Structure 1
Amino acid sequence: MYLLSAAVCAAAALTTLTFAAPAQSTGQYAGTKIIRVPTGSQEQTDKLASLITTLGVPTWTSARVPHSHVDVQVSKDRLDSFHKALKEVSPYLDSQLITMHDDLAVSIAKEAEGMNSPYRDAFAGLANEAWFNSYHTYADHLQFLKDLATTFPNNAKVVTSGTSYEGRTITGINIYGSSGSGTKPAVIFHGTVHAREWIGTLVTEQIAYSLLSNYTTSSTIKSYVDKYDFYIFPIVNPDGFAYTQSSDRLWRKNRQPPPSGSTCYGRDINRNWAWQWGTGGSSTSPCAEDYRGASAGDSPEFKALSAFLNARANSAAGAKLYIDFHAYGLYFMGPYGYSCTANAADKTEHTKMEQGFAAAFKAPYGKTLKTGPICQTIYQASGSSVDYAYGYSKIKYSFTPELRGASSGNGFVLPPAEIRPSGIEAYEGVKYLLANMV
């Protein structure tokens, strides 16, 4: 969910993924450092925000939260000017910096280790836990979903939710119990709407695998799968995700062409949902990371995802739970994002569920989540999927987590060793929700 404050605007043709770490990324980010800077007082925070704007350096987190920190992306040609400017803000800041990535290109290359081996060679068409040892190509993610359905034919089938701008099918897995598909209230999970947030892809897949692999061995899991129909879409921004693997690892938006008068590609799908669209916390600039689009819901991905969501919500069985998985920051939040004063009608129930999810999430590895409504907890964000699911589709339980990457200091480029723990703690949180929804 976090933004880069300075957008990289470039047009690129759709390319075939023939390598794991994007050659362009390892080149363009050579020598780039990711530096965590404490924001301090409101006065110092304002000075830092002004400095970042003046220098035009991208940020991985908000630069406007006092008594916190901002993660700044500094290319090697701007390091000297960056450090000089910091001293003008405070002579003590330089000694308080934390280097998250000393060379971003090296970190991107390490992140991609294990991706070059073809998935089919290693897994022979059967889904298993070894999948979660590394990151994977877009094509292999599609194959994994097929293999889930093959491995668990009585409880899973591949489903689709329309197509992206470039014509890729938005693909997911439907998990169902003894009554068959389509007869129970829906639980819908989305991952990787922001293309660079790779950990969300694997976490949603790990939740799917855990539900299926434990169906016959755990009476508790069987009861959840028998009670709900699960629709899990690990990559709802397939064009952007493919672009992170072919061209720019840090790409966030979809790949929709620029509007008239601009050269900057992409819309932030999670500012494009057509409910309380454009009310704040999004940008009108096509070059901004949080560009909301020319009009409400003008991205093909919104049209596809909302149609699927509403079809389930308006069915006889209805929809009970919606979660949009993001990274990074360690949060678990509910509506609303569009306003910091508007409260969900079910706020008391949401607060209980958010805190319960956080407690369950913390149990395996001690990671602490901040909870609360999106706007009050992190920042204003209108046109979001959570607000739409709750406010328009009337899905009572609508949430968004921000997964790992903050406390570890890795941000968006999370080492493969973090995949399994991320999935395990998120699965514990999901199980709490399934056990306590009313």
Structure 2
Amino acid sequence: MRFTLYATLVAFFSGGVTESSDVSYDGYKVLRVKTNGLSSSILEKLSDLAFDEWEHQVGHHVDMVIAPDQFSTVEALGLDFHVMHVNLGESIAAESVSKSVWKRQAEDLSWYDSYHDYDDHIQYFRDLHDSFPDKSELISSGVSYENRSIFGLHLWGAEGPGKPAVLYHGTVHAREWISTKVVEYITLQLITGYNNGDNETQTILDKYDFYIFPVVNPDGFVYSQTSNRLWRKNRQPPPPPPANQSCYGRDINRNWEFAWDANPLGASTNPCSQTYKGEEPSDTPENQGLDKLVRDLRDQAGIKLYIDWHSYGQYILSPYGYNETLYAPELGKWTKAAALVSEAIHDSSDDRTTFTFGPSGAVLYTTTGAAPDHVYSIGGAEFSYTIELRDTGDFGFVLPPELIRPTAEEQWAGQKVLLSLLDEEFFDGVGPAIVA
């Protein structure tokens, strides 16, 4: 049943997301539709009604955008659904409203009260570097298709660089703006904690080198800010004919070499699909640079921890994504660590945020060519996760600015726990987990 439903949803989302300019979502609604028990014919009707650019499957639900003139038709189908955004255009407009003024100082937390332009994010990381000049360096993993630098920051502790790596990626998917902010907040906490003499933070940075990239899909991110808020992929042109020449972009998180072609359900070969995996592994310039860094870190001091930050759904997902019944030998310790991170997030948040955890393919859905599988299998990372941030279906990709700071704060609480547990001694006797 799970295979049949997922196959239907893959077909459902294989339609066209074509080149678009200044897309308006005024009057459009975002619905969360319960898919349990739905026939393929009903799903096909939905595929005819939905505007494809909000693609998200969470558990037994699918979230979709409906044009104003199609809502009554959806209602007539008698589906079990609720409305996430009554007017998506208004929700998007509200994202840009800031209730505070950022003083352009790295430690000013009003930065986390609103979303910001791409150039501001570059400046923010420069400011972070300036606040930690002797123990950090500005770095890049390469350039995007449109020649933007994939900028980042390398942090280290008292004894200088050269320790095992902690690698964070944010904003792989352009529309997932909250991931940028979370990665930046964690970077800020590492720096300010170290500068302020916090023993826990100093121990972490003395033990590991951090390589932090808040926006690894800069072209898509800029496009989502200027032309289409729901843009997901990079901005690479379509492949040569006979491919559809109006469909731009590849999904960077279906483009990694490992398991790129392992499962037809894990990605799409249709250039118009949101999960288009490219013509061959690592055929995006963004992925080529990221992969080179992964291999370089592997060959230096190794990768201790990798996290790919996304939204949404509130999950902590470990390999493997490409096979729902294949479990890595390290799954036991990954699951134990994720459980403790989930507990820390829950205990730290005012609204007791809950995160589900487990192997990606078994817990969520099948993905091929995905970063955590590759960074574990090729990069040798001891811990490798995707973290899907807030929320579980009230706002989705368009998370209100007032939720930026709570989301970031709870993730820092989780990271403090995780980073303190990475030593092998903690996991002595923990064998592979068995997932029902």
Alignment TM-score, normalising by the size of structure 1? 0.88
Q: Alignment length, in residue pairs?
A: 404
Secondary structure of the structure 1 residue equivalent to 2:43: helix
Q: Residue 331 of structure 1 aligns with which residue?
A: 315
Describe how 1:236-315 pairs up with structure 2 within 5 A.
236-261=216-241, 262-263=244-245, 264-280=247-263, 281-315=266-300
Pick the aligned partner of 2:215 from 235, 241, 245: 235
2:118 matches 1:123:
no
Contact 1:336/1:375 (CA < 8 Å) preserved in 2? Answer: yes
2:408 matches 1:423:
yes
Pick the aligned partner of 2:46 from 49, 52, 71: 52
Q: Residue 156 of structure 1 aligns with which residue?
A: 136
2:188 matches 1:209:
yes
Distance in 2, matches of 1:350 and 1:200, equals 21
Q: Residue 378 of structure 2 aligns with which residue?
A: 392
2:56 matches 1:61:
yes
2:167 matches 1:188:
yes
Deviation of the 1:45 alpha carbon: 5.6
2:379 matches 1:404:
no
What amino acid does structure 1 have at the position aligned with 2:411? A
Secondary structure of the structure 1 residue equivalent to 2:336: helix
> Structure 2 unaligned runs (5+)?
1-8, 424-436
2:366 matches 1:380:
yes
Secondary structure of the structure 1 residue equivalent to 2:205: helix
Distance in 1, matches of 2:39 and 2:375, equals 34
2:421 matches 1:436:
yes
Q: Residue 147 of structure 1 aligns with which residue?
A: 127
Alignment TM-score, normalising by the size of structure 2? 0.89
Q: Residue 21 of structure 1 aligns with which residue?
A: none
Distance in 1, matches of 2:49 and 2:261, equals 27
Distance in 1, matches of 2:223 and 2:172, equals 13
What amino acid does structure 1 have at the position aligned with 2:33? V
Q: Deviations over 1:391-430 (max 9, x none)?
A: 11111100011000225x0000000111111111111111
Deviation of the 1:114 alpha carbon: 2.6
RMSD between aligned residues: 2.0
Secondary structure of the structure 1 residue equivalent to 2:219: helix
Distance in 2, matches of 1:430 and 1:46, equals 41
> Structure 1 unaligned runs (5+)?
13-23, 88-92
Distance in 1, matches of 2:83 and 2:197, equals 45
Distance in 2, matches of 1:76 and 1:335, equals 40
Distance in 1, matches of 2:214 and 2:104, equals 21
2:96 matches 1:112:
yes
Pick the aligned partner of 1:81 from 53, 67, 73: 73
Distance in 1, matches of 2:158 and 2:388, equals 33
What amino acid does structure 1 have at the position aligned with 2:119? A
Distance in 1, matches of 2:411 and 2:16, equals 30
